[in-house]
Structure formats: C-alpha cells, structure tokens
C-alpha cells in the first residue's frame, strides 16, 4: 500500500524557516518524480514544486522560487521541502504527492504550516 506521511509543519514567524519531510513507503521511491502541493485554509490547490527521480531536475512555482528548496534522499525514501523567508501567504497545508504532473496519483494527509507573529 502506498503511504506518504508528511511531518515538520508548525507555527513560524514571518521571515523564519521550516523544513518539511515526507516519508514514502509501499512503492519504489526512486522510480518516481515527487511533488509538493499546498492549500491555503479554505482555498484551492497550488502546485509548489516537483523533483525528478534522481534529484537532477527541480521545478518551482514563481511565488516560492529562491525561497524554497525541494530535495530527496532515495536511500531514505524521503522527500523534503526547505522553506526560508516565510511569509503569511505561505500559510497552508502542504501535501506530498507521488509523481510529477503527468502522474500525481497518491497524496499524503498533509502538514499544516502557519506563518504568523
């Protein structure tokens, strides 16, 4: 059974940093692109970033470019999102998703990031 378990969310002040993790199981992690999608409270979905199977290619939505870094450790079956210079508008539930845009077939339960003073 495919499982994606996010962690690392919490309350952080504007300008602060946070690192999200996603532990994957039930499939061969290194065979899939991986993605982070976020959802602000009561709002729709926004694709944040995705990363190639071997980590050699990374793509970011403009609103996070230069502030967020997606990475992965295939030996640990884990996906990460390092978030720096956080803003109030980054407040959202962050979902770990298996696959890139062509796939995006399994989603984790999400982790809430709240940016507030």
Judged by CB under 8 A, the number of residues near other proteins is 19
By CB atoms closer than 10 A (0-12, 13-18, 19+), residue 88 is exposed
Residue 46 binds other proteins (CB under 8 A): yes
30 contact partners, CB below 8 Å, separation of at least 6: 53, 54, 74
Largest Cα separation within the chain, whole Å, is: 40
Residue 73 binds other proteins (CB under 8 A): no
Site for other proteins in 92-111 (CB under 8 A): 95, 100-110
State which residue, 23 or 61, has the beta carbon closest to other proteins.
61
State which residue, 12 or 49, has the beta carbon closest to other proteins.
49
Residue 44 binds other proteins (CB under 8 A): yes
DSSP secondary structure of 3-21? EEEEE--EEE-TT--EEEE
State which residue, 27 or 59, has the beta carbon closest to other proteins.
59
Instruction: Tally Cβ neighbours within 10 Å of residue 111.
Output: 21
Least distance in angstroms from the C-beta of 36 to other proteins:
12
Q: Which positions lie near other proteins, rule CB under 8 A?
A: 44-47, 59, 61-62, 95, 100-110
């Amino acid at each position: 059974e495919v499982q994606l378990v996010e962690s690392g969310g919490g309350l952080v002040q504007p300008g602060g940093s946070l690192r999200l993790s996603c532990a994957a199981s039930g499939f061969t992690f290194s065979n899939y692109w991986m993605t982070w999608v976020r959802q602000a409270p009561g709002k729709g979905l926004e694709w944040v970033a995705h990363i190639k199977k071997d980590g050699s290619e990374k793509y970011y939505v403009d609103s996070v470019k230069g502030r967020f870094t997606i990475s992965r450790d295939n030996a640990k079956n884990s996906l990460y999102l390092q978030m720096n210079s956080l803003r109030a508008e980054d407040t959202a539930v962050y979902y770990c998703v298996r696959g890139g845009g062509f796939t995006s077939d399994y989603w984790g339960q999400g982790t809430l990031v709240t940016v507030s003073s």
